[in-house]
Structure 1
Amino acid sequence: MQVRRWISAGAVVCALFAAGGCGIAGGGVRVAEDAGEGTTGPVPDSQPHPAEGEAFSIDPVAVLREDPEVRQDIKDLVARPCTGEGYDGSFFPVETAYATVAGTDVQVVVVNVLGCTSPYLCASGYASYVYRLWQDGPEQVFAAEEVSTTVMVTEGEFTLERQVWLPGDTADCPTGLESVPLTWDGDALAGGG
């Protein structure tokens, strides 16, 4: 496994967190109702995919709340919108990125849980999840439930990034970064670490 450290990358991550703020904007996030009876497993590949230009989308807060594999403390972080200085009560502490896994037609969404700390603090990530998007609902294919961890995606390639504290770092802003590539095994993302 190849693990790379970038000391200067910590500053870039800090800037991204500061610029990104705290998740979903707008009039709040719709909480999905119970879908009733239906299939709970993935739809076979023979099922039609979205038409060209269409894509599946999810309500990330509802997905996290309903996923039995998500820890309760993470669910508690997304129980209410962020409040306080800099928040207007409509932002939930999540950031999403939709992607297609490189070399496949597998559509996924990355959900990073950032928390409602000051948008100027660097170490604000709490957990990261990747869900495969099926017609009948999302399926969790990766989870990292650690503080200061995010999943990044670039052109269908996924990386687990962990902020690390180096000597002299303040408690709220680590300057080191470990980057671990995640690979698709046909069913899920996997990485070392």
Structure 2
Amino acid sequence: MAGWPGRSGGAGTTSVRSRSHRRRTPRPPRRAARRGEAWGRSLRVATTLKAQLREEITSALRSSDKVRLGALRMLSAAVTNREKEVLHELSDDEVREVAGKEVKKHAESIEAFEKAGRLELADKERAEREAVSGYAPPQLTEEQVDALIDEAFAETGASGPGDFGAVMGAVMGRARGRVDGTTVQRKVKERLG
């Protein structure tokens, strides 16, 4: 073993220095971390939608609810993917937006499965949509949508089919994921004639 640096014995070995020459950085006490305090400061206690989602995934795991667990994991993956796209942690409103898109995907899947006669898969999609819908923004009622459209018409002064884009932009900007775009589109087209 001669000639290998760092090995004991033989030619060309380096001396092993004691480890006391290294500076150690102080570490927080373990008990403080368990209490929710790090370095004497208390951690943020407010629960976010992401934290609630993680807790619900854990409870679905414990209760062996595979359908709910799968739906919640899909939502968690969608939130993570969105965070990677925008390069910051999502706020609760942004998480609701992602959940709204997932609910819409489930609704489209239900419709497709029913058309194909696959009722068992449609039922599974309904259960998944139900699990995810608690995180989606609350949907607007027909009256609220009509009121938003009235406001948009008053604001833009729309009178003909050429103003369709302006009205849609105003309504969808205010609705922000709380209404299906096809519903608004149909109502605006009816109004514009």
Q: Tell me which interval the TM-score lies in, with the shorter structure as reference length.
A: under 0.3
Q: Which has the higher contact order (CA 8 A, sep 6+)?
A: 1
Relative to its length, the structure with more strand (as a share) is: 1
Over alpha carbons, which structure has the higher Rg? 2
TM-score, scaled relative to structure 2? 0.22
